[in-house]
Amino acid sequence: MLVVFAAVAAALVGAPYGPRSGRAASADPGVERLLEQRRELYAELREVDDDAAAGRISAEDRVRARRALAPRLRAVTEALRGAGIEQGHE
């Protein structure tokens, strides 16, 4: 399971996932980093779902992976809300 997470993380580092959003992003590097973290977490969720759909991981592994990512995504989302950035997929 850890190998899957490591492979996903390695594949996602530095890959572009859409336009940058949020009016404060360019003015605040902290907000920009949060937006990047949110993009990475959404990409990890998509990868987990794709792996499960393709049969590369079990349904149980998918649930575990999503549960592991959820607290990080929740924390990033709350931090962005605190900075005045609305929720949205990129």
Q: What would the pLDDT profile of 12-66 be if each residue is shown by its tens digit?
A: 444 444 444 444 444 689 999 999 999 999 999 999 999 999 999 999 999 999 9
* Residue 9: strand, helix, or coil: helix
DSSP label at 86?
A: P
Q: Report pTM.
A: 0.66
What are the b/e assignments for 30-42, b being 16+ CB within 10 Å?
A: ebeebbebbbbbb
Query: pLDDT, tens digit, for every residue of 22-34?
Result: 444 446 899 999 9
The radius of gyration of the chain's CA atoms, rounded to the nearest angstrom, is 14
Dump the DSSP string for 13-38: TT---S----TTTTT-HHHHHHHHHH
